[in-house]
């Protein structure tokens, strides 16, 4: 059996963006959290909704994925397969992170205008829906990808120019 | 996993610098950080020990330009080189799109290089990735040191070539970075082999750092197109 060449690519469309943003916005409205971010397990920001983060979101996404990866290992050490939610409490700002189908991580940033209990409850309610949307997007990417439909056709010249 | 985000018009790719401890992986990233304008790179994040040895990873996002209206953003990671940090190393490889193997050219580090290369193959295979078929370049660092091994010896030990069995790929492919050399060629025994592109470097002065980064980034984008 031949192994796959490497990690596949994910083609994230406007339609995916709209569908996920609607779910995240509804979650923010219901939970009163400030901001929700979706990060893939390899450390890239997929999208976010709510207050525009004032921090470096690229670094945030990378550290979020690393945080989850490290905690997965900790879980295994104590005989669990993983920890599907993580909570980090700050003096003013806190964050709740949830695994979504082992594909992405949903992060909610919230302050004292709401409670951990409410954020957790509302987050649990959308995890499955976010998972389905992400899975649908990934499956479509993979079905459209290999050989049949190049993602960036005829761009060799442009790539070469980038490196001149 | 590369991500083409049509909503934010970005292409994001992940490149991992791999190799033995103290080989210069972090130094590569530090040089890129110093030389790239602040507008096109993010923060350099280091999860390191107090003695500045990489504990989990270093991370630097860099924008390389625009293709078809998409901003190309590369996420550069290093792994901890020390043998006992394999759990961290393996985690960083998740979703990788391109690999740079930073070898330490010093003669007495040959065994450490080989061990790390084997570890890379093993960790990639555990994720189900075939290193021989994805963007992969080898950098021979510390070429300025008096005890640096000859290039041919390093190539023979670390990048001897893997067999090419598919007839479609059995065609002479020149190494565009080294005149007169080939990446894919037929040996006198009749066997076809392919080697990873290689670069000589002195990461502390920056020599070869950008050549390596450009080569792997280009391979990643071409794999995507």
Q: What share of chain A is helix, strand, coil (3-state, %, to 5)?
A: 45, 20, 35
Euclidean distance between CA atoms A150 and A128, whole angstroms: 31
Domain region containing A155? 14-162
Which chain B residue lies closest to A57 (C-alpha atoms)? B42
Instruction: Please give the pLDDT value at position B50.
Output: 77
Residue A3, in any domain of the structure = no
Instruction: Please give the pLDDT value at position B161.
Output: 93
Per residue in B125-166, pLDDT (tens digit) is 999 999 998 999 999 999 999 999 999 999 999 999 999 999
Cross-chain Cβ contact B65/A162 below 8 Å: yes
The β-bridge partners of A107 are A37, A97
- Ranges of chain A with pLDDT below 50: 1-5, 146-148
SS3 label, residue B197: coil
Residue A142, in any domain of the structure = yes
Task: Considering only the beta carbons, identify the residue of B1, B61, B96 that sits closest to A9.
Answer: B1
A99–B contact, CB cutoff 8 A: no
Cross-chain Cβ contact A17/B224 below 8 Å: no
Residue A80, in any domain of the structure = yes
B214–A contact, CB cutoff 8 A: yes
B141: closest CA of chain A, how far (Å): 22
What is the tally of structural domains in chain A? 1
Instruction: Please give the pLDDT value at position A2.
Output: 37
- Ranges of chain B with pLDDT below 50: none
For chain B, which domains are there? 3-160+196-224 (3.40.50.300), 162-194 (no CATH)
Residue A140, in any domain of the structure = yes
- B78 alpha carbon, distance to own chain's centre: 10
Q: Which two tokens stand for residue A8?
A: 């596949």
Which residues in B lie closer than 8 A to residue A64 (C-beta atoms)? Answer: none
Residue A8, in any domain of the structure = no
Residue A61, in any domain of the structure = yes
Residue A4, in any domain of the structure = no
CATH of the domain at A122: 3.30.450.30
Residue A1, in any domain of the structure = no
Instruction: Please give the pLDDT value at position B3.
Output: 87
């Amino acid at each position: 059996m031949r192994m796959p060449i490497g990690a596949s690519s994910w083609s994230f469309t406007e339609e995916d963006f709209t569908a996920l943003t609607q779910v995240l916005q509804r979650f923010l409205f219901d939970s009163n959290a400030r901001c929700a971010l979706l990060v893939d397990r390899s450390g890239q920001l997929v999208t976010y909704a709510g207050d525009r983060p004032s921090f470096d979101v690229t670094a945030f996404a990378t550290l979020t994925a690393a945080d989850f990866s490290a905690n997965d290992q900790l879980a295994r050490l104590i005989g669990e397969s993983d920890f599907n939610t993580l909570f980090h409490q700050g003096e003013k700002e806190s964050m709740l992170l949830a695994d979504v189908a082992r594909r992405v991580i949903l992060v909610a940033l919230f302050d004292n205008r709401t409670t951990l209990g409410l954020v957790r409850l509302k987050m649990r309610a959308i995890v499955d829906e976010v998972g389905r949307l992400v899975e649908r997007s990934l499956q479509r990417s993979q079905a459209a990808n290999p050989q049949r439909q190049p993602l960036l056709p005829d761009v060799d010249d442009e790539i070469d120019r980038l490196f001149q | 996993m590369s991500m083409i985000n049509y909503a934010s018009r970005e292409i994001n790719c992940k490149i991992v610098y791999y190799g033995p401890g103290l080989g210069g992986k972090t130094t590569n990233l530090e040089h890129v950080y110093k030389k790239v304008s602040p507008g096109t790179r993010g923060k350099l994040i280091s999860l390191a020990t107090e003695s500045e040895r990489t504990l989990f990873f270093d991370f630097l996002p860099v924008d390389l330009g625009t293709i078809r209206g998409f901003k190309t953003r590369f996420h550069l990671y290093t792994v901890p080189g020390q043998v006992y940090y394999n759990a961290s190393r393996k985690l960083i490889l998740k979703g990788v799109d391109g690999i740079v193997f930073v070898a330490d050219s010093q003669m007495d580090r040959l065994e450490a290089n080989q061990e790390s290369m084997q570890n890379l193959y093993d960790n990639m295979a555990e994720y189900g990735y075939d290193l021989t078929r994805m963007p992969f370049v080898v950098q021979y660092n510390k070429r300025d040191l008096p005890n640096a091994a000859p290039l041919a010896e390093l190539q023979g030990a670390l990048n001897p070539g893997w067999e090419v069995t598919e007839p479609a790929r059995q065609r002479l492919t020149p190494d565009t970075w080294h005149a007169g050399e080939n990446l894919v060629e037929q040996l006198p025994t009749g066997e076809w082999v392919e080697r990873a592109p290689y670069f000589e470097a002195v990461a502390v002065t920056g020599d070869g750092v950008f050549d390596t980064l450009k080569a792997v980034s280009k391979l990643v984008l071409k794999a995507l197109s």
